[in-house]
Amino acid sequence: MLDHALRIKVRTDGTKIEGNEFGSLSHSMFEFAMSDVKKELETKTIDQLIAEAVPEKIGKLADDYFRRAVEDEQIKNPDKFSNRYAVYPGLKVKRIFSKAYPAMLDYYKESGYRPEAFEVKVEDFDHKIDIKTTSDGIEFEFKFRGSIDRVDKNEDGLLRVVDYKSYAKDIDFKKAADGVQIQLFAYAYGLKLQPGNEVDNVGYIGIYLPTKKPEKNKPPKLFEYKSADKKYDLDAVIDYAGQKLKDTCDNIAQGKGTAKLTGTEFDKACTFCNFKGSCGRLMNSKDNPGKAEAAAIADSWKKGK
């Protein structure tokens, strides 16, 4: 049917465009854009950048950033330098960028934050997250590696951890208490270990890829920053993430297969866990006391508790 009636052939040469490829291209393009914005803010105001963001300039930026993104080695598609790739996904990604770029500049004006650093390697910190522990007389050292997409700073010198996403994602404190959503808080913990650093917030910047026709008179949302709810004590959550890393390393050193990484049942946690074969926990079980425990921990982080 596909071959003979519709004349559609499934690509078997590795050139099929997957969703994560769109995300990688968008991520790179906005990282290039923010890096340039940071440089321009040394001599211009954010209002000047907003005024200069006319369609012609944005179009040229989109072309340049897409070309640079395609050249990155993380884009493995063998078709990436072809005319076909320039049309799809090229035109779509550049169209999304062109619409989201002005919204991004407006957001920076409103938030007061400016991009400070990109692709920050936690293993390069002067004061590292690395954890040393001992079990049965044997010394263990766990070295942590990771890359913070972006670190922003405001006029007061406060830092904000930013992670790029090509889909909508919220900060869920119950999952953070469970240990399955502590990445941003662990990054913040690493930043706080450096003298003089104070982290004010963490969050996701969503660069969305429209998947359906927008509602009438309601343009699709292409750019959004979702930060941690201010009603929670961020320092308490960050400290918890740091302790969670230490406890996990202690448990691994003691030979505990589950490493007590998660207390509640979370659909994807078990899927990606290296110890699921020896753990014995039932995936997706609804009757698990860890859920109430995680909820209680998250509730304790609320300010005024």
Q: 49: Cβ–Cβ under 8 A, 6 or more apart, which residues?
A: 37, 40, 41, 105
Listed residue (146, 162, 150) closest to 227, CA to CA: 162
Residues 113, 157: Cα–Cα separation, whole Å: 10
130 near 143, Cβ under 8 Å? yes
DSSP state letters, 202-265 = EEEEEE----SPPPTT-PPP-EEEEE--TTB-HHHHHHHHHHHHHHHHHHHHTT-TTTT--SS-
Whether residue 282 is predicted with pLDDT greater than 80 in this model: the reply is no
Residues 256, 275: Cα–Cα separation, whole Å: 9
265 vs 153, residue with greater confidence: 153
256 near 280, Cβ under 8 Å? no
266 vs 196, residue with greater confidence: 196
Residues 107, 113: Cα–Cα separation, whole Å: 9
Chain center to CA of 35: 17
pLDDT (mean) for 46-58: 96
Angle in degrees, CA 244, 184, 237, rounded to 5? 50
Whether residue 6 is predicted with pLDDT greater than 50 in this model: the reply is no
